[in-house]
A and B are shown apart, each in its own frame.
Chain A
Amino acid sequence: MRSPAILEVDSVRKAFDVRGVRIGVLDSVSLFASDGDWVTVIGPSGCGKTTLLRIVAGLLEPDAGSALVNGAREERLGATALLPQSDTLLPWRRAIDNAVLASEIAGVPRATALAEATGLFERFGLSGFESTYPWQLSGGMQQRVVLMRTFLSGRSILLLDEPLGALDPLTRATMQDWLLSVWNELRKTIVLVTHDVEEAVVLSDRLVVLTPRPARVLSEWSFEDLPRPRSRTDLAFMRRRAEILSVLVGGTS
């Protein structure tokens, strides 16, 4: 019995014209998330994961199929908080001013937004760095500011496009554990795009594996039988990781 979906993507298809050649990116991709779910999308690089997120965010319209956010087909734009893959901190803003950008645009009074952000700086391991500029922060800290901006957006659905992709493996593992605890506290619905199987198994409730371009859903996994926090060296964990990896590499389910 599924609880009602706040995000529902049904058989979405998308193709682009690249110099006169029609290139299919998404063939038929479906995805759903209930309130508070963590759903991860994984697939070979270039398989259209980013395109899928851009459709959910309302930046693109699907050629066929439907994408519903909060039960409505319209007004997807502005209904979710997107964390793009590229470096998106504004270099002329201090960390705290970057963190409140979305609330500022939404018209939240500055004092309220700043108070809320200041409270989170410690939780995000950034206390003392409120007034630093992005270039003065390490890669991991910059990414935490981006995550804080996304969490502070006031949206309940967060779309994270490889948020930890640029970090070194050690920082990455620490950030995964930390991200999980923040999610536990702040209870948001998360759609995470990654190409790291371990990250997917550590973090998510469910996993959707996509085929190479044009993407279809290759298989779906649930990790509800693995209680959190999940140990990366646990036997059940490692078996599941190996199964997913073999599906991903073999290309069949």
Chain B
Amino acid sequence: MTARRVLVPALLFLAALGLWEMGVRAFGVPVYILPPPSRIFATFFLQFPLLLGHAGVTLAEILLGLLLGGAGGLGLAVILFYSDGVRRAVEPFVIASQMVPVFAMAPLLIVWLGYGLWPKVVVSALIGFFPVAVNALDGLRSTRSDMVDLFRTMGASRRQTLGKLLLPAALPALFSGLKVAATLSVVGATIGEWVGARRGLGYLMLQSNARLRVDLVFAAILMLTLIGLSLFAGFRIIERRVLHWAAHSRRFG
């Protein structure tokens, strides 16, 4: 079962790479237009120290962005959950903020925050915060009302109900939001680096593109993909550990 689940996508991937390799060679496509996969992998391993250095910067931006976006999203969800007034006042702006292309914000953030780490962190956080907020709010709202009533009969304060009932019950939804945010924040950090940076994988891609080192562009993309996949897998592992109960109980929320 498990072997099959891994085998089928792996075979598909290898077949695609094989077609790519043969096509590029058969039609004599120049390396600076589209390098064959063999060349990309060779570059990936030869330039691994360089890639790793830039990846470290990008990863730091992504993680800080996730932390900021995740905390902001959860905080906003709790506030919106408790205050209908605030929710009515703020909700249109929260939704409208998602219509503003992050590309348009990035140059401004560079102007405001400089060329360092922070504008990338903010772009990453801005993209990640929305799915976290939406999912966490859904999770909080779907807590069973009979459980909330039970807590009332136990004389629970608002804070006790939040900490002992609402937040744990919202955890599965929160993790769904975080997994989406994790993949989006990779995009966010890269965009931030394109607009203006001195280090990072996005910066490396831009530089390599200008020098027609398309193989290095692809190697950087491969690195970004690996970062995104690891983040997603990391969240899945934490989720399985923390939410072992969720798999066995019918949806509690």
Output the residue of A88, A91, A102, A136 with the most chain B CB within 10 A.
A91
CB neighbours (8 Å) of A133 from chain B are 244-245, 248
Interface: A135 (CB within 8 A): yes
Is the CB–CB distance between B164 and A105 below 8 Å? yes
Stretch at the interface among B75-83, B97-105, B143-151: B143-151
Is the CB–CB distance between A105 and B155 below 8 Å? yes
Give chain B nearest CB distance to A235 CB in angstroms.
Answer: 41
Interface: A59 (CB within 8 A): yes
A82-B153 in contact given A88-B147, A92-B168, A105-B160 (Cβ < 8 Å) = yes
Is the CB–CB distance between A78 and B154 below 8 Å? yes
Interface: A166 (CB within 8 A): no
Is the CB–CB distance between B150 and A84 below 8 Å? yes
A81-B153 in contact given A90-B165, A105-B160, A135-B248 (Cβ < 8 Å) = yes
Output the residue of A58, A80, A102, A136 with the most chain B CB within 10 A.
A102
Residue of chain B at shortest CB distance from A58: B153
Give chain B nearest CB distance to A103 CB in angstroms.
Answer: 9
Please tell me which one of the listed residues B154, B248, B252 contacts residue A101 in the complex, with CB atoms under 8 A apart.
B154
Interface: A252 (CB within 8 A): no
**Secondary structure at chain A's binding surface: helix, strand, loop or mixed?**
loop
Is the CB–CB distance between B246 and A91 below 8 Å? yes
A90-B160 in contact given A59-B152, A80-B153, A102-B154 (Cβ < 8 Å) = no
B-side interface size class: 20 to 34
Interface: A153 (CB within 8 A): yes
Output the residue of B144, B154, B248 with the most chain A CB within 10 A.
B154
Is the CB–CB distance between A59 and B165 below 8 Å? no
A-side interface size class: 20 to 34
Is the CB–CB distance between A59 and B153 below 8 Å? yes
Please tell me which one of the listed residues B144, B156, B243 contacts residue A105 in the complex, with CB atoms under 8 A apart.
B156
Interface: B249 (CB within 8 A): yes
CB neighbours (8 Å) of B165 from chain A are 90
Is the CB–CB distance between B146 and A86 below 8 Å? yes
CB neighbours (8 Å) of A90 from chain B are 164-165, 168
A57-B153 in contact given A88-B146, A91-B252 (Cβ < 8 Å) = yes
A134-B249 in contact given A84-B150, A86-B146 (Cβ < 8 Å) = yes
* 17 sample A-B contacts, Cβ–Cβ < 8 Å, listed by A number: A77-B155, A78-B152, A82-B153, A84-B149, A86-B144, A90-B164, A91-B246, A92-B168, A92-B243, A105-B154, A105-B155, A105-B156, A105-B160, A105-B164, A133-B248, A134-B249, A135-B248
6 tightest A-B CB contacts, nearest first: A78-B155, A135-B248, A91-B249, A91-B245, A82-B153, A105-B154
Name B's A-contacting residues (CB within 8 A).
144, 146-147, 149-156, 160, 164-165, 168, 171, 243-246, 248-249, 252
Other A-B contacts than A78-B152, A90-B168, 10 sampled, CB-CB below 8 A, are: A59-B152, A77-B155, A78-B153, A82-B150, A86-B146, A90-B164, A92-B171, A105-B154, A105-B156, A133-B245
Name A's B-contacting residues (CB within 8 A).
54, 57-59, 77-78, 80-82, 84, 86, 88, 90-92, 101-102, 104-106, 133-136, 153
